[in-house]
Amino acid sequence: MKISVIGKNGLPTNIPIKNYGLDEFQKLNAAIYLVQKDCNYNTADMVSRMHRYITQVLKAVRKGKTENVGFWLSMSFSWSLALANRLHIKLDSEMWKRFPGVCPYCNQPVCGCKERAVDRSVLVANPEHTVYPNTLRCYQEMFARIYPHNTLQDVAMHLAEEAGEVDEAIEHYMGSHQKELFDAIIIELVDVVANISAVANCLKLDLAIEMEKNFLDGCIRCHTMPCNCGFTIANSVSV
């Protein structure tokens, strides 16, 4: 097994970005943007930015102009990571809790839900179904196995719904700061990342490679790590 060499920023120095796991991608986002995001954005701002890019994904799918969706998915994922960092949510462990190789509603390695249940099952990872996905690509492959019948239009709309539910969950939590309401934020944010992966699967895109294209040199705008441009808006790609 190849041993990772960890640099000062907590990132492996001998592994290409396209082979990162969810934890490494979260650390990459922090290494690039944590200071800028903490100084320039409150939580509502960050949700708004995530929602903005997800809306561009939905718009591109609706218009059938998907050539730039890799960029929009990368930006949606990046802001999801930033939000997880702001709220101290470890996406890797939370993703595995929700999707341990099976559908969280029917508890099957290939989803057989005819209609989604109201509540998720209480799940424990079953080694007969899958091994722990140690890279983002492995997570994407896992979702492809669980949901082989996804269609692009359905998952794009589902992604937009989940973004709205993140916004709603955060609003509820900020009003009372109850633990169960914070847990709802975690669930909805995990669902956003799962549906970003699902859109990528429908378009035969490797999300990890798309992230490497856009963040190989650090900030997507000033190409430094950490960002020193006071990041406000990334270079635009029109739909």
Q: Identify which has the larger pLDDT, 65 or 235.
A: 65
Tell me the pLDDT band of 201, cut-offs 50, 70 and 90. very high
Separation between Cα atoms, residue 42 and residue 44, nearest integer Å = 6
Mean pLDDT of the chain: 89
pLDDT tens string 51-99: 999 999 999 999 999 999 999 999 999 999 999 999 999 999 999 999 9
* pTM, 2 dp: 0.90
Tell me the pLDDT band of 2, cut-offs 50, 70 and 90. very low
Q: What percent of the chain has pLDDT over 70?
A: 86
Residue type, 115: E
Compute CA distances 127 → 102, 122, 124, 143, 169, whole Å.
Answer: 11, 16, 10, 16, 32
Q: Identify which has the larger pLDDT, 4 or 35.
A: 35
pLDDT tens string 168-200: 999 999 989 999 999 999 999 999 999 999 999
So what's the pLDDT on residue 17? 95
Q: Identify which has the larger pLDDT, 239 or 41.
A: 41
So what's the pLDDT on residue 120? 56
Q: What percent of the chain has pLDDT over 90?
A: 74
pLDDT tens string 138-162: 999 999 999 999 999 999 999 999 9
Tell me the pLDDT band of 12, cut-offs 50, 70 and 90. confident
Q: Which residues pair with 12 in a beta bridge?
A: 6
* DSSP code per residue over 144-202: HHH-TT--HHHHHHHHHHHHHHHHHHHHHHHHH--HHHHHHHHHHHHHHHHHHHHHHHH
So what's the pLDDT on residue 5? 55
Q: Over 60: is that where the pLDDT of 235 sits?
A: no
Tell me the pLDDT band of 14, cut-offs 50, 70 and 90. confident
So what's the pLDDT on residue 131? 82
So what's the pLDDT on residue 118? 54
Tell me the pLDDT band of 1, cut-offs 50, 70 and 90. very low
